[in-house]
Amino acid sequence: MAITGGEEPGTAARRLMRSRFHAALATSLAGHPYASLVATACDSDASPLLLLSDLAQHTKNLLADPLISLLFEDTAGLPEPLAGPRLSVLGHAERVDDPRLAARFAARHPASQGYAGFADFHLYRVVVERGHLVAGFGRIAWIEAEDLRFSADASALAAAETEIVRHMNEDHAEAIALYAERLLQRQGTGWGMTGIDPEGCDLRCEGETARLDFAAPVLTPAAARRMLVALAEEARNTAPCR
């Protein structure tokens, strides 16, 4: 993902977090840094979500000390990876029992449905405290929690997310295909929507994933509908990629 020069650091950081499906998790192993790879999702406010096994070393670490860091990056395929954007999120992990968040994580990571119900797997929400964004040469910033999280009230959209996603997949598969092909220049058939939040929606086609950012935040189902209709119209007027 490209981070534009005029973009606010908090907006750019959230866009990076929401677009990534995995991150490096750093925990403390008796005072020693311990890094591991984890699958991630984000809540509506962009707070990271983790589904962790009690048996994993990183889970044992954070149960002893909940302070963690997550590294999100988009450097794959770049000739100079250190020129790509990355974000270190500092915070602490809290275990949550929230069916909405569990459903959001499972939709983003379908393979997790095979073990999410196991007694030793639990969902954790990261309470963000600060973030350190490196968005390119000379574009480095610390971002405080109030700017890193999406602060507007999007509870109405979050409550309707499952129904919006179902409706789009069942009744507007053609529009989703156009989003993928013409707006995101992705190949393949069978694209579906897996989630929607105030700043964009997530798409999946078998093992491939994509993120469609919105031009402006949406907070309600009605606003989401208007945005999705406008994007479909934009896609119809965009020439297919060759």
- Give the Cα separation of 50 and 159 in Å (integer): 20
User: What SS3 class is residue 166?
Assistant: helix
pTM: 0.93
Name the one residue in this structure whose structure tokens are 């999280």.
Answer: 149
Assigned token pair, 81: 């990876």
Query: Comparing C-alpha atoms, which of 226, 219, 186 is closest to residue 202?
Result: 186
* Tens-place pLDDT, residues 40-50: 999 999 999 99
C-alpha closest to that of 179 among 196, 154, 161, 158: 196
Please state, in angstroms and rounded to a whole number, the distance separating the CA atoms of residues 68 and 62: 7
Q: Which domains are delineated in the chain?
A: 9-148 (2.30.110.10), 155-236 (3.20.180.10)
- Give the per-residue pLDDT at 2: 55
Query: What tokens appear for 66 in the block?
Result: 């909940």
CA distance 220 to 36: 36
Residue where the block lists tokens 């925990």: 27
DSSP state at residue 182:
I
**Would you state the pLDDT for residue 184?**
96
Report the alpha-carbon distance of residue 100 to residue 55 in Å, rounded. 24
* Sites in the chain below the pLDDT cut of 50: none
Strands 22-29, 67-73: parallel, antiparallel or unpaired by DSSP?
A: antiparallel
- 10/146 Cα distance (integer angstroms): 9
Token pair listed for 131: 């973030």
Residue corresponding to tokens 């997310």: 161
Which positions ≥6 away from 32 have C-beta within 8 Å?
A: none
How much is the pLDDT for 4?
Answer: 57
The answer to whether 14 touches 199, Cβ cutoff 8 Å, is yes
Task: Tell me the sheet residues that pair with 193.
Answer: 203
Phi (first) and psi of residue 186, to 5 degrees = -105, 145
Angle (deg, nearest 10), helices 155-171 and 99-108: 40
Side-by-side strand order, sheet with 208-213: 192-197, 200-205, 208-213
